[in-house]
């Protein structure tokens, strides 16, 4: 049964791969044998070094996912080196806080441009190649904030909700090409994005009180889900949004 999760020689692009969930996901996929293309506006050398330390193969491409031209160049560089793209993990994202009535249009646009439009650009450009191959996996990182309103950051919730419907629509359109498109909706994971929140005793206590498992998650706890959706073990899964939140959204 181990071969169901084998990703040997699969070509994977992970966006937002310099740190946080993206870094852990990239290293985890490399451990399963994938050739991982690291994409970020930030330096990915730490992630690349971790992959090289486990004798994995990797390529770093600096990319602003909100810029369609840069996304196109990322895809071209991947194809120039590897000739195909098997998996896209659409992970790049940002979070900005603020009351809805005070939120600036500039900040609204920056969140939507990266979290939603950026995922569309990446899926679109990678999807063109996957259609030619008649095969591929796209995994869009959404959030439980896309399932329920997250007070204090209206564009984040709006963008993550949009990702879920983007996922379903692409799954509907591209199923005929044997392209599986799924979303993952994490709860609270200990990353750079949540660092300030997790320093708040009140926030951590809220998690203990409302998450059935009584804790927040470590980034490594998402890797198995990504491997599953990347591998042939999920061949008949598409258009799905998989919630990884310790049971938070399951409780009243």
- DSSP readout, 215-233? S-B-GGGGHHHHHHHHSGG
CA dihedral of 134, 235, 14, 27, whole degrees rounded to 10: -130
Give me the mean pLDDT over the 127-131 stretch.
Answer: 98
Question: What is the value of pTM for the model shown?
Answer: 0.96
In CATH, 2-191+220-244 is 1.10.3720.10: no
**Residue 105: count of CB within 10 angstroms of its CB:** 8
Domain residue ranges in the chain = 2-191+220-244
β-strand pairing of 136-141 with 35-40: unpaired
Residue range 191-200: mean pLDDT, rounded: 88
Kindly state the average pLDDT of the residues 223-235. Answer: 97
CB 222 within 8 A of CB 186: yes
pLDDT of the residue at 1: 55
Can you read off the two tokens belonging to residue 149? 């309103």
Q: What is the pLDDT of residues 109-122, one digit of tens each?
A: 999 999 999 999 99
Whether pLDDT at 195 is above 90 = no
Report helix angle 20-31 to 45-53, nearest 10.
20
Share of the chain above pLDDT 90, in %: 92
pLDDT above 60: residue 210: yes
| Residue 106 CB burial class (10 angstroms; 0-12, 13-18, ≥19) | exposed
Indicate the average pLDDT of the chain: 96
- Give the CA distances from residue 97 to residues 111, 154, 207, 209, in Å, rounded to whole numbers and listed in that order: 10, 8, 19, 23
Percentage of the chain beyond pLDDT 70 is 99
Active-site positions? Answer: 156
Please state, in angstroms and rounded to a whole number, the distance separating the CA atoms of residues 140 and 127.
Answer: 13
């Amino acid at each position: 049964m181990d071969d169901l999760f084998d990703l040997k020689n699969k070509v994977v692009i992970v966006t937002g791969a310099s740190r946080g969930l993206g870094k852990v996901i990239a290293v985890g996929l490399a451990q399963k044998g994938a050739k991982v293309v690291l994409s970020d506006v930030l330096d990915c050398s730490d992630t690349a070094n971790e992959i090289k330390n486990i004798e994995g193969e990797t390529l770093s491409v600096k990319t602003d996912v909100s810029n369609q031209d840069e996304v196109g160049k990322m895809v071209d560089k991947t194809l120039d080196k590897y000739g195909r793209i098997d998996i896209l993990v659409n992970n790049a994202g940002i979070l900005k806080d603020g009351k809805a009535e005070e939120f600036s249009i500039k900040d609204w646009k920056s969140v939507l441009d990266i979290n939603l439009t950026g995922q569309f650009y990446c899926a679109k450009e990678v999807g063109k190649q996957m259609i030619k191959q008649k095969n591929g996996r796209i995994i869009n990182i959404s959030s439980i904030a896309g399932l329920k309103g997250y007070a204090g950051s209206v564009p984040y919730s709006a963008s993550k909700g949009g990702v879920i419907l983007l996922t379903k629509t692409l799954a509907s359109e591209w199923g005929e090409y044997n392209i599986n498109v799924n979303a993952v909706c994490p709860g609270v994971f200990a990353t750079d994005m949540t660092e300030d929140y997790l320093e708040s005793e009140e926030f951590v206590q809220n998690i203990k009180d409302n998450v059935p498992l009584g804790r927040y998650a470590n980034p490594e706890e998402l890797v198995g889900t990504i491997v599953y959706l990347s591998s042939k073990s999920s061949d008949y899964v598409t258009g799905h949004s998989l919630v990884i939140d310790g049971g938070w959204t399951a409780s009243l």
